[in-house]
């Protein structure tokens, strides 16, 4: 029994070290090279470290992904819509630095989709479920959530992005 416990403990320690090494190897920026695939969740971004300083960036379909350059050789790819595109990066001399396929995909973490005869409705749940605008949702649901999000953004801009701390009502007059 004692030997089994040691074996179990040693196995867990080994797996833990392997997991830590695997995570450490991921780093914070993806390194780009010819033929590399980059997966980006829709409405999120990935940082890609280029092999050299870019001169020209070509995005195959800018409705799917967008690119911003930062600090010499860092490229930020933002997923705008579901789909696939490619990005080609040329140096100031016209040499190819990177050629990558970009896949913009759904964020499945904490996602809930409700399907009915009226169509699909999307929610993000952590821990409470809130309506979320996604391509393919029921038109009325999509418009309602988009309108509410637009109203929230407009209110934040007109209030100078400050909070009254009231949380939306119920306070003293």
Q: Indicate whether this model's pTM tops 0.85.
A: no
**Which CATH code is given to the segment(s) 30-105?**
2.60.40.1080
Residue ranges covered by each domain of the chain: 30-105, 111-158
Which whole-number Å values give the CA distances from 30 to 45, 75, 108, 116, in the listed order?
A: 12, 10, 21, 40
Helix (H, G, I), strand (E, B) or coil at 108: coil
Taking only the tens of pLDDT, the chain with its 173 residues reads 545 544 444 444 444 434 433 333 334 455 554 456 899 998 899 999 999 999 999 999 999 999 999 988 999 999 998 899 999 999 999 999 999 999 999 877 888 999 999 999 999 898 899 988 888 899 999 899 888 888 888 888 887 655 544 444 444 44
Please state whether 22 falls in left (phi above 0), alpha (psi between -120 and 50) or beta: alpha
> For residue 104, which of 134, 132, 72 has the smallest C-alpha distance?
134
């Amino acid at each position: 029994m004692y030997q089994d416990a040691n074996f179990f403990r040693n196995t867990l320690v080994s797996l833990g070290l392997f997991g830590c090494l695997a995570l450490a190897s991921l780093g914070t920026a993806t390194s780009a090279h010819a033929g590399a695939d980059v997966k980006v969740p829709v409405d999120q971004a990935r940082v890609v470290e280029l092999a050299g300083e870019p001169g020209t960036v070509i995005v195959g379909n800018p409705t799917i992904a967008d690119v911003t350059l930062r600090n010499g050789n860092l490229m930020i790819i933002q997923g705008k819509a579901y789909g696939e595109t490619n990005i080609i990066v040329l140096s100031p001399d016209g040499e190819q630095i990177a050629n990558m396929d970009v896949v913009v995909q759904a964020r499945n973490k904490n996602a809930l989709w409700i399907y009915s005869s009226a169509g699909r409705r999307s929610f993000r749940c952590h821990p409470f479920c809130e309506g979320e605008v996604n391509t393919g949702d029921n038109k009325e649901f999509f418009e309602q959530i988009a309108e509410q999000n637009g109203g929230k953004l407009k209110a934040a801009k007109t209030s100078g992005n400050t909070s009254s701390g009231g949380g939306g009502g119920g306070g003293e007059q």
